[in-house]
Amino acid sequence: IATRRGLPKEKMSENGVLSRAKVLTIDTMNPTVKKVEYAVRGPIVLRAVELERELSEGMKKPFSEVIKANIGDAHAMGQQPITFFRQVLALCSYPELLNDSTFPEDAKSRARRILQSCGGNSMGSYTASQGIDSVRQDVARYIERRDGGVPCDPDDIYLTTGASDGIVTMLKLLVCGEGATRTGVMISIPQYPLYSAALAELGAVQINYYLNEEKCWSMDISELQRALDEARRHCNPRALCVINPGNPTGQVQSRQCIEDVIRFAANERLLLMADEVYQDNVYAEGCQFHSFKKVLFEMGPEYSDTVELVSFHSTSKCYMGECGFRGGYMEIINMDDEVKAQLTKLVSVRLCPPVPGQALMDLVVNPPQPGEPSHDNFIKERTATLSALAEKAKLTEQVLNTIQGISCNPVQGAMYSFPRITIPEKAIQEDKGQEPDMFYCMKMLEETGICLVPGSGFGQTDGTYHFRMTILPPTDKLTILLNKVKEFHQKFTQQYS
Ligand SMILES: Cc1ncc(COP(=O)(O)O)c(C=O)c1O
């Protein structure tokens, strides 16, 4: 082994070639990245992909296909895109089509408007880092309509690369300090693992507050207070994240609950991050989506002039399911002007969000209007998708609740059920170091081909076990899937009791 001052160790291999020790090894890489976990694409999904390959190579399995109910990716599960959206995107991508008489006039005029906002009239050019001006104006008008006239300034809108990008950007702005002054961020448990992953990567302190499963996964102010008081002993809590409608738990928070949460954030001086990507996905009777912004403004100037709120939306969910376009926006409310300038600088480093995603966001917030040629078909397609989701939400809850040892809260919104499962003690003993619900889900995958995510990937009260299952598969497949879950659970329970 030869060493030169200041250079990594080198050694001569057998064939005489000098090889250097790697600069980047598992011991020398960024330790915060190693702490990142993302259950939604974890070991179960890797095994599901392997099983699909084995099936395609003709290997015998107790099932003929792998059914993925692990990820909220609607189009991957067969949901059809909205025709108008794809027409406009096609026209924007290939403007020659503007001469094609098969495209409706409203799609063409929309495409022209978007192209006129792009440098060189091309979707291939960079845009302003905050996003295209006209799109931000349309987003602002949409928010005003949604919130019953509460004003929205387009300058407070930042277009993003999906909601994920906005959430991570906001956390980056927030996190600072060392030791007991390190920033803490409150997140719900169970949570969508983007939050824990981003906090781990940034080295922030994750503060868990538990949702109340007995009360349909509602938020409980006394639980928020408990989590905050404990955290204040070792970090500096500065933000509270809320996902509504909820992932993975599928609940829709009541207006009263949102008001209480806003009051709590105001009293405790916390910045509120409202993840509202499922705002159109509300199914249960008596439930309604209330935006944090609307409730904040209804609470009067004492709150609406002071509470710092950032809300997030996306093209990936609702009736669109256009995850791959990576469109989204965030609205910032009551943010300090100097911080806002820093935010604008931060997003400018990455140039701009994908332009097709920005264009799609524009169509979502400004869909075809009554009287326009595409309006009726747009309404028909949107209604069909949302009604099918509502039906599947009900079906999932009903069938899961017929299984002894499984109990499922109503799927009020979003795209997931998060049922609680009883795992026999013998199975818990046999899990060989895995979380018991990981053992359960892995066994279900091997025996039935059904791919779910164990509750442990989202966090849960100690001693309780769950899985997350999307309601996205087409109804016929979902019915098969639910029956297979039933059979598997009964067999599993017998085997280990
Ligand atoms: C609650 C929640 N927030 C954010 C996201 C990220 O969505 P996007 O595709 O817009 O980045 C998801 C995706 O599943 C989600 O469920």
Residue 192 beta carbon below 6 angstroms from any ligand 1 atom: yes
Residue 41: what pLDDT? 67
Reported in sequence order, the residue ranges of 355-448 that DSSP labels E, i.e. its strands, are 406-407, 416-417, 420-421
Confidence tier at 13 by pLDDT (50, 70, 90): low
* Structure confidence at residue 14 (pLDDT): 65
Q: State which of 187, 194, 325 you would mutate to test the pocket of ligand 1, scoring each by most atoms of that ligand within 8 A of its C-beta.
A: 194
CA of 144 to the centre of ligand 1 (A): 23
Distance (Å, whole) CA 420 – CA 297: 37
**Calpha distance 300→304 (Å, rounded):** 6
- Name the pLDDT band for 9 (thresholds 50, 70, 90): low
| CA distance linking residue 45 with residue 452, whole number of Å | 8
- Please give the Cα distance from 278 to 287 (Å, whole number): 13
How far is 279 from 29, CA to CA, in rounded Å? 39
pLDDT at 80: 94
| DSSP state, residue 218 | B
**pLDDT over 90 (residue 71):** no
CB atoms within 10 A of CB 115: 17
Structure tokens at 2: 């030869």
- Across 263-358, the runs of DSSP E, i.e. the strands, are 271-275, 309-314, 327-333
Which residues, 6 or more positions from 420, have their beta carbon under 8 angstroms from its beta carbon? 213, 406, 407, 408, 464, 465, 466
Q: If you compute the radius of gyration of the chain from its CA atoms, what whole number of angstroms results? A: 25
In the beta sheet, which residues pair with residue 159?
A: 329
Helix (H) or strand (E) holding 157: strand 157-161
Is the confidence at residue 40, as pLDDT, over 70?
A: no
Tokens of 131: 């996003």
Instruction: For a ligand 1 pocket test, name from 192, 243, 325, 418 the mutation site with the most ligand atoms within 8 angstroms of its C-beta.
Output: 192
- In the chain, what are the domains? 39-78+378-495 (3.90.1150.10), 85-365 (3.40.640.10)
Per DSSP, 87 falls in state: H
Give all strands (DSSP E) within 254-308, no chain letters: 271-275
d(CA 339, CA 332): 11
Q: Which helix (H) or strand (E) holds 11?
A: strand 10-12
For ligand 1, atom 13: residue with the closest CA: 72
- Taking residues 298-314, what's their average pLDDT? 97
CB of 274 sitting under 6 A from ligand 1: no
- Nearest 5°: the CA angle 193, 196, 201 is 120
Q: What are the tens digits of pLDDT across the range 153-191?
A: 999 999 999 999 999 999 999 999 999 999 999 999 999
Atom nearest to 328 CA in ligand 1: 10
- How far does residue 60's CA lie from ligand 1's centre (Å)? 36
Choose between 82 and 8: higher pLDDT.
82
Ranking 29-43, 114-128, 242-256 by mean pLDDT, the lowest is 29-43
Nearest to 130 by CA among 164, 173, 166: 166
Distance 238 CA to ligand 1 centre (A): 22
Cβ burial of 4 (10 Å; 0-12, 13-18, 19+) is exposed
Question: Of the candidates 33, 355, 358, 349, which has an alpha carbon nearest to the alpha carbon of residue 169?
Answer: 349
Q: Does the beta carbon of 40 lie inside 6 Å of ligand 1? A: no
CA distance linking residue 297 with residue 305, whole number of Å: 9
Ligand 1: nearest atom to the Cα of 164: 11
In this prediction, residue 475 has a pLDDT band, given cuts at 50, 70 and 90, of very high
How far apart (Å, rounded) are the C-alpha atoms in residues 109 and 120?
Answer: 17
E strands, 190-339, are 205-210, 236-243, 271-275, 309-314, 327-333
Model pLDDT, residue 338: 95
